[in-house]
Structure 1
C-alpha cells in the first residue's frame, strides 16, 4: 500500500455531488498537487484528508493506518491554509511553538525544536517579531513552520500562496519545494495555478467537477493531455476538431476527432519563404492578426480559415516585422498533434 491511500471517496452537499468516487495514492516523500478550477472539489478533498470535512463513503489511509473515522488531531497531518491564521499578539517563536504547547510539551523540550524550525524557514533573528512586522511571504513561512515543527506524517497545503504577489509567490514556492525535499515530507498541495503546479510537483492530479480528469508527472500532463478539459485548462493549447482543421485547409490530418496542439510546436514562416512540404508535417496558410510579447516568448495569433491559431516563438526570432493581415504558412509536426477525449 502507498503511504497515503484514498479509496472511492464520495461527498455531497445536499443533492449536489462534490467528490465523485475519488481514488488515488501518494508515495512517501512525494509532492502531489491537486490542480483544478474553483469549485472542482480539490479543497474539499484536502480538508477531508485532514478530517475537517466528513465524507459520505470511502476510506483513507496514512502509513497503512485507517484514518477515515479519526479526529483531525489524531491523523498526524499538518495543514497550511490560504489565510495564515497567525496569532497577532504572539511572536514568531510563540506562533510556531503553539501546537507543541497545546500538546503539553515543556518549554525546555520544545525550545530547541522551535529554534531549529526558525532556522529551517530562514527567519533566524526574527524570533521576537510579531506578524504585523513581517512581510506576507515571511508570515506564510511562519504558518509553514508551525505545521512542520510537529513533524506530521503528511503536509497539506491549501492554496497557501494565492494571497501573495507574483514575485513572492515564485520565490516562496521554490522555497517550499526545497524544504519539502530536505525533510522528505509527503506533501499534498492544492492550487488552481497551472504554472505553480507544473513547477513544484512530482505528480499532478487534474480535477474537474468532482472527478479526476488525469494524473501524471508535470511533463506528462503538459505534453500529453488526455481530455479536452485538461488541454484547455493546463496551458495555451490550440484545441481543434477534425472538421475545423479540414475547413482551415490542413492536409494529412492524423486519425482522431479532436486534437490538442501546443503553440510552441507550430512553425511560422512568411508565405514567400516556403518551399516544398516536408514529410511528417501538416501545412496550411493563414493571415497574421496580432502578437503579444510575453517576456522571452512572443505569441502570434494567426487566422486560419476562421480558427485562431496561437503560435509561440522565442523572442529573438526576428519575426516581429510580420505585418497585420500578412499571409504566412503554418507547419505542424503530425506527431505533436495530440488526440483528445471530448468533454462530456
Structure 2
C-alpha cells in the first residue's frame, strides 16, 4: 500500500471546480512534483493535504491513517510556503526551535536537535543571525529546517523557490533534494517550472484544470508526453495536427495519428542540398529567425508556412544557417510522437 493515498478528491470555490476527483499514490521516501500552470489546482491539492483547504469529497490517507477531516496540527505534515514566514524578532536558532518549544520540549532536548538541523542545512555558525541578516536562500533553508525538525510524515513544498533569482534557485533546489534523500523524507513539491520538476523529482504529476493529465518519471514525461497539453507545457515541443502537416513540403508522414509532437533537439538540420536521411520524415524550409539561448542555438524554420523550432548546441556556427537560408530537416520516426489532442 502506498504511503500517501489521495482518492477522488474534489474541491470547489464559489461553485467553481478547482479539483475534479483527483487520485494519486505516493511511496514512502519518494520526491514527487505537482507540475502545472497557475490555476491548475496544484497548490489547492497541497493545501488540502495539509488541512488548510477542507475538501468537498474524497479521502486523504498518510501512512495508512485517514487524515481527511483532521485539523492541520494533528496531521503530522510539514509545509514550506513561497514566503519564508520567519519571525523577524527571532534568530535562526529560535526560528528553527519554535515548533519544538510549542510541543513542550525542554531546552536540553531542543538544542541537539537544532544543532543537527543546522548541520543538515549547512548554516552552522549563523544560528545567532536574524532573518534580515540572511540571504533569500538562507532564509528559505531556515524555513525548511523549521518544518523538518518536527519530523513530519510528509513534507509539502509550495513553490518555495519562486521568490529567488535563477542562480540561487538552481543551487537551493539541489540542496533540497540532497536533504530529502538524506532524511528519506516523503516530499510533495509544487512548481510551475518545468526545469525544476525535471531536475529534482522521482515522479511528476502534470496537472490540468484540476485533473492529473499524466504521471511518470522525468524522462517519461519529457520524452513521451501523452497529450498535446503535456507536450506544449513540459518543454518546447513542436506540436502539429495532421491537417497542419498535409499539403506542405514534408515527406514520409506517419499513416496513423491525428496530433504529433517532436522535440526541437530531435530535428536534424542540414543544407538544402544534403542527401536525405533514410527512414526519416523529411521537410524543406527556410530559416526565419536564430536565437542564442546560452549553450543552445534556436532556429525558427518556415516549412511552407508551418513554423518549426529546431535546437542545436551552440558549437555550430551561426554563419552556417543565417535567417533566409534554405535548409533540409530530418526527423527520425522514433522521435515522432503521437499525442492526445487537448480537450
Q: Same fold (TM over 0.5)?
A: yes
- The match for 1:168 is 168
1:118 has 2:105 as partner: no
Question: Separation in 1 of the partners of 2:214 and 2:293?
Answer: 28
Contact 1:204 1:215 in 2 (8 A): yes
1:191-218 CA distance string (max 9 Å, x none): 0000000000000000011111101000
Question: Separation in 2 of the partners of 1:86 and 1:46?
Answer: 21
User: What's the RMSD between the two structures over aligned residues?
Assistant: 0.9
- The match for 1:134 is 134
TM-score, with length taken from structure 1? 0.98
- The match for 1:308 is 307
Contact 1:280 1:335 in 2 (8 A): no
- The match for 2:267 is 266
Question: Separation in 2 of the partners of 1:27 and 1:247?
Answer: 49
1:264-319 CA distance string (max 9 Å, x none): 010001112x12x3332011110011111111111111000111111011111235
User: What secondary structure, in the 3-state scheme, does the structure 2 residue paired with 1:247 have?
Assistant: coil
1:32-53 CA distance string (max 9 Å, x none): 0000000000000000000011
- The match for 2:24 is 24
Deviates more, 1:311-320 or 1:54-63: 311-320
Question: Separation in 1 of the partners of 2:232 and 2:306?
Answer: 15
What is the Cα deviation at residue 250 of structure 1?
Answer: 1.6
User: What secondary structure, in the 3-state scheme, does the structure 1 residue paired with 2:8 have?
Assistant: strand
- The match for 1:71 is 71
Contact 1:96 1:146 in 2 (8 A): yes
What is the Cα deviation at residue 323 of structure 1?
Answer: 2.6
What is the Cα deviation at residue 76 of structure 1?
Answer: 0.7
Question: Separation in 2 of the partners of 1:53 and 1:301?
Answer: 44
1:157 has 2:167 as partner: no
5+ unaligned residues in a row in structure 2: which ranges?
none
1:9-53 CA distance string (max 9 Å, x none): 000112200000000010000000000000000000000000011
What is the Cα deviation at residue 251 of structure 1?
Answer: 2.0
- The match for 1:7 is 7
What is the Cα deviation at residue 130 of structure 1?
Answer: 0.2
User: What secondary structure, in the 3-state scheme, does the structure 2 residue paired with 1:167 have?
Assistant: helix
What is the Cα deviation at residue 242 of structure 1?
Answer: 1.0
- The match for 2:339 is 340
- The match for 1:185 is 185
What is the Cα deviation at residue 74 of structure 1?
Answer: 0.9
Contact 2:96 2:143 in 1 (8 A): yes
TM-score, with length taken from structure 2? 0.98
What is the Cα deviation at residue 247 of structure 1?
Answer: 2.7
Contact 2:269 2:328 in 1 (8 A): yes
Question: Separation in 1 of the partners of 2:323 and 2:161?
Answer: 40
Question: Separation in 2 of the partners of 1:121 and 1:247?
Answer: 58
Aligned residues: 342
1:52-99 CA distance string (max 9 Å, x none): 110001001000010101111111110000000000000000000000
1:289 has 2:288 as partner: yes
Question: Separation in 2 of the partners of 1:130 and 1:47?
Answer: 28
- The match for 1:256 is 257
User: What secondary structure, in the 3-state scheme, does the structure 2 residue paired with 1:323 have?
Assistant: coil
5+ unaligned residues in a row in structure 1: which ranges?
none
Question: Separation in 1 of the partners of 2:28 and 2:112?
Answer: 26
Contact 2:173 2:200 in 1 (8 A): yes
Mapping 1:317-332, distance limit 5 Å: 317-332=316-331
